[in-house]
Amino acid sequence: MYDAPKLNLSKSMAEFANGKTCTPGGVLGIRRPYNFVEGEYPIYFESGKGGRVTDIDGNEYIDYLCAYGPIIIGHREEEVDNAVIEQMRDKGFCFSLTQSIQNRLAEKLRSLIKCAEMSVFVKTGSDATTLATRVARGYTGRNKIMRCGYHGWHDWCVEVKGGVPAKLYEDVHEFHYNHLEQLEELMKQYGDQTAAIIVTPIGHPLAEQVEYPRPGFLEGVRALADKYGALLIFDEIRTGFRVHIGGAQTLLGVTPDLATFGKAMANGYPIGACVGKAQFMKKIEKEVFVSSTFFPNSLEFAAALKTLEILERDNVLEVIKKKGEWFNGELEKVLAKHKVSTGISPVPQMPFIVFNKDETKTYKAKRVDFYTQLIRRKVFLQPYHHGYIAYRHSDEDLKFTINAIDEALSFIDEKKY
């Protein structure tokens, strides 16, 4: 049984101790150490290039988390960064009025995304999903939202309710992905009060397996929205510009009324978008308010336009898909060799190894050991969140990772639980 040596993380741990004196918890949200394996994963990165990142102790990793999704091409992609530098140097980016590059990006999205007759640009996915629900409420005059998936940290959808009055989410009702009957029951009860149904078109619940829609699921959601006069919103923050250049709505053949995009849109620059059919989006002209000092900043527009150009020009998404398909194929062979019960993501662009619950209830300990062995072998994945394949992940990176997974599972096979 080969137990890989523990990494030197002394600088990360010292910086974390310092960070907790000036930032609540040291780092925030899903980046906190308990979302990884405490004491085994680094807490601070120093740099990244291509498909790799380096922590402040000098350890280099193959990065499959990709900043939780924004890195679609690679870290420090020169063409994208140079487009931003040129915009900054030659034109500036923060003004009292909007620069016309905003229109170029909106036109580009309209050419790619089926429902994107109009677009409004924001900074984060949470901004975009919140705006979409506001548009739906403004258009329908109704209050209730039916939700499926993670939609951000704002009051109406945040999973952890501390600091949020119950009245701010009492009109939001949850149903589970691929369980159309749950939504049908909710709509029977609240359909005439429902402004929107918001759903991730590909399911990706925390710590659970990624799912494609079962036959008829998204079509059924679309039909229920139409039946009750509610708007259908696709949350494409993760799927947009990764599973298809037109989003999952194009890949899966179901068109929503509104959709939200972000993450991979600008290869790491902070931008999100609420897009949709003009009859709904025009409510933002007067009746639905959105404004921010920084939403019109143009650096992200330049980054997004260049990123989308590269995705199309270099056939990036097809390359990523093929890399992911090869990776999943090899992964299936490796998993078949070992005793532990696992499952893998069916979405090749979003790899994930899930440990199935077992009668002995050792799956959690096995998961900790597995990801401990992976990070010690310099493969950066998250135990509770799917990963991402980036364009700059090389064939050598993928092969190294498959071998590391094989070794980590061998460690588990030989250990007594």
Place of tokens 């309209």: 110
Written as one letter, the residue type at 282 is K
Q: Tally Cβ neighbours within 10 Å of residue 179.
A: 13
pLDDT(249) > 80: yes
Written as one letter, the residue type at 175 is F
Can you tell me the distance from the alpha carbon of 275 to that of 293, in angstroms, rounded to the nearest whole number?
Answer: 20
Is residue 163 very low, low, confident or very high in pLDDT (cuts 50, 70, 90)? very high
Is residue 360 very low, low, confident or very high in pLDDT (cuts 50, 70, 90)? confident
Please enumerate in sequence order all residues whose Cβ is within 8 A of that of 93, keeping only pairs 6 or more positions apart, or say none.
87, 99, 297, 298, 299
pLDDT(59) > 70: yes
Q: Give the model confidence (pLDDT) of 17-29 as tens digits.
A: 999 999 999 999 9
Closest CA to 178 of 147, 148, 208, 151: 148
pLDDT(409) > 70: yes
Q: Tally Cβ neighbours within 10 Å of residue 65.
A: 19
Place of tokens 């072998």: 377
φ, ψ at 208 (rounded to 5°): -120, 170
Q: Give the model confidence (pLDDT) of 142-159 as tens digits.
A: 999 999 999 999 999 999
Is residue 84 very low, low, confident or very high in pLDDT (cuts 50, 70, 90)? very high
Please enumerate in sequence order all residues whose Cβ is within 8 A of that of 132, keeping only pairs 6 or more positions apart, or say none.
196, 198, 233, 258, 259, 260, 274, 276
Can you tell me the distance from the alpha carbon of 304 to that of 302, in angstroms, rounded to the nearest whole number?
Answer: 5
Q: What is the pLDDT of residue 2?
A: 82
φ, ψ at 221 (rounded to 5°): -65, -45
Q: Could you give the domains of the chain?
A: 10-75+315-414 (3.90.1150.10), 78-313 (3.40.640.10)
Can you tell me the distance from the alpha carbon of 122 to that of 104, in angstroms, rounded to the nearest whole number?
Answer: 15
Q: CA angle at residue 199 from 165 to 179, to 5 degrees? A: 100
Q: What is the pLDDT of residue 221?
A: 98
- The whole-model pTM stands at 0.97
CA atoms within 13 A on the CB side of 408: 25
Which tokens go with 141? 């005059």
Can you tell me the distance from the alpha carbon of 359 to that of 125, in angstroms, rounded to the nearest whole number?
Answer: 38
Q: Give the model confidence (pLDDT) of 292-309 as tens digits.
A: 999 999 999 999 999 999
Q: What is the mean pLDDT of the chain?
A: 97
Asked if 63 contacts 75 with a C-beta cutoff of 8 angstroms, the reply is: yes
Can you tell me the distance from the alpha carbon of 127 to that of 294, in angstroms, rounded to the nearest whole number?
Answer: 12
Mean pLDDT, residues 305-323 taken together: 98
pLDDT(128) > 80: yes
Give CB contacts under 8 A, 24+ apart, made by 363-366: 365/417, 366/340, 366/412, 366/417
